[in-house]
Chains A and B, each alone.
Chain A
């Protein structure tokens, strides 16, 4: 195991992977380091995140981070989700990542923020 149990578990059994029917906010972004693409779809109800789903062909770190993040933001207001702290996501991964791989962990957050930007 190179990244620890949390990343391994979320990579093997990602939460919220796939697409949403008629999402309210969508964005696709990529990681310039490797060219990985990640797409986030968000359903908004009453100004809150009802559901968030992701898909893309990405590394273990990015998939685990997307899996965790899409769980964390459910129920948050749009502003709260867009401001979700990077440190909290990194801490939740429970793995000491090299600086070169931090971008993989924060890619899902950047994509989510870009998706929500127009809804703020």
Chain B
């Protein structure tokens, strides 16, 4: 893959080693320009206007939806709902689908590696419906007839592990469950096809995939969208409103009450086209090489403990580790003093940290612009941090 660093103004201006991509990614000029141009040339509200600007803005929103459809190899743009982010997408399913259709005796299964955003909404859905919540292993394929929902990550945000999502989805669906995949950490880094994953719902955010904050996606099978109720009601999602009642539009409008994030959709489309131009296979190959390098370098540093699978093919570019005798936050502060941005803490995965028996880890995460130099700088700085012990 070509060196893309010069496409990212922030990386050029700040000269930092940015390794906090699992939290959010930096944005290429193409994304910033697309949003800027939308506001300067085509800004208007969507759907209801008949003037030319409204038509342009509506077309821009729908072209973004088509870009998402293509990127996920989905069948129809009617399966693509724009939300505020993966968190909202998951809450929509937990409340609008599970909250409506589950009852006492049903079971919701979530894996032990889930981010709080794919854990807490299910705890709430379980409490609201009387269903039980079961925490399963990250490779679980045995599900009973009571399991109505399986919620799993495609890639663990805390460890980088790639879960056997297609196999788990197949097993769960075969026993009658509906499957939601949190793809927030996979869509930005791996080729993802909803047809290959075989799930019912797929959720992700724009901002981790070089796009803007404030926009995310929920993809769903059409039959699930018919069963699901919207979280928000209001303008833009109704067919007919009388004094006492209202009827909903067909999906996706049914789930997009109010003015949608139009400029953000334009930015997301630009991000998708940027990634498509690089090629997701190339993106993955680039990150795989760096994962192997990072693992090899960090493993050489005495007292480094690495978490998650060692084999680069079994993980994404999220590298979670500790330096024995040094608190994760002290290590992160030490790295920051050397211009290296990483994340430290429990990574919104307290149940997983408890299982690992640690209070937290340091997490370095890669993206398309990460380089060998970034990885080398990290390993050198971690070795230097042994002085804190």
Is B337 an interface position by the 8 A CB rule? yes
Is A91 an interface position by the 8 A CB rule? no
**On chain A, which size bracket covers the interface?**
10 to 19
- Closest Cβ of chain B to A65, distance in Å, is 13
- Closest Cβ of chain B to A103, distance in Å, is 10
Candidates B337, B353, B388; contact of A35 at CB < 8 Å: B353
Is B274 an interface position by the 8 A CB rule? no
Is B185 an interface position by the 8 A CB rule? no
What 1/0 mask marks residues of chain B from 321 to 334 whose CB sits below 8 Å from any chain A CB? 00000011110011
CB <8 Å contact, A34 and B330? no
Q: Contacts of A104 on B, CB cut-off 8 Å?
A: 329
CB <8 Å contact, A2 and B330? yes
Q: Contacts of B353 on A, CB cut-off 8 Å?
A: 35
Q: Contacts of A9 on B, CB cut-off 8 Å?
A: none
Q: How far is the CA of A104 from the CA of B344 in the complex (A)?
A: 13
Q: Contacts of B344 on A, CB cut-off 8 Å?
A: 34
Q: A35-B345, A35-B353 are in contact. Are A2 and B333 (CB under 8 A)?
A: yes
Q: How many residues of B contact A (CB 8 A)?
A: 16
Within 8 A of B (CB), among A11-69: 33-37, 57-61
* B387: nearest chain-A partner, CB-CB: A1
Q: How far is the CA of A104 from the CA of B388 in the complex (A)?
A: 17
Q: How far is the CA of A32 from the CA of B132 in the complex (A)?
A: 27
Q: How far is the CA of A51 from the CA of B333 in the complex (A)?
A: 32
CB <8 Å contact, A34 and B334? no
CB <8 Å contact, B333 and A34? no
Q: How far is the CA of A35 from the CA of B353 in the complex (A)?
A: 10
Q: How far is the CA of A59 from the CA of B329 in the complex (A)?
A: 7
Q: A34-B328, A34-B346, A35-B346 are in contact. Are A2 and B359 (CB under 8 A)?
A: no
Q: Contacts of B359 on A, CB cut-off 8 Å?
A: 34-37, 57
CB <8 Å contact, A98 and B333? yes
- Closest Cβ of chain A to B157, distance in Å, is 16
Q: Contacts of A86 on B, CB cut-off 8 Å?
A: none
Q: Contacts of A3 on B, CB cut-off 8 Å?
A: 333
Q: Contacts of A33 on B, CB cut-off 8 Å?
A: 329, 345
What 1/0 mask marks residues of chain B from 349 to 388 whose CB sits below 8 Å from any chain A CB? 0100100000110000000000000000000000000001
Q: How far is the CA of A3 from the CA of B330 in the complex (A)?
A: 9
CB <8 Å contact, A2 and B337? yes
CB <8 Å contact, B327 and A58? yes
Q: Contacts of A60 on B, CB cut-off 8 Å?
A: 327, 330, 388
Please list 25 pairs of residues, one from A and one from B, whose beta carbons are closer than 8 Å in the complex, sorted by A's number: A2-B330, A2-B333, A2-B388, A33-B329, A33-B345, A34-B327, A34-B329, A34-B345, A34-B359, A34-B360, A35-B350, A35-B353, A35-B360, A36-B359, A57-B359, A59-B327, A59-B328, A59-B329, A60-B327, A60-B330, A61-B330, A98-B333, A98-B336, A101-B333, A104-B329
Listed from nearest, the 9 A-B pairs whose CB atoms lie closest are: A59-B327, A34-B345, A59-B329, A60-B330, A35-B359, A2-B334, A35-B346, A34-B360, A59-B330
Contact surface of B with A, Cβ cutoff 8 Å: 327-330, 333-334, 336-337, 344-346, 350, 353, 359-360, 388
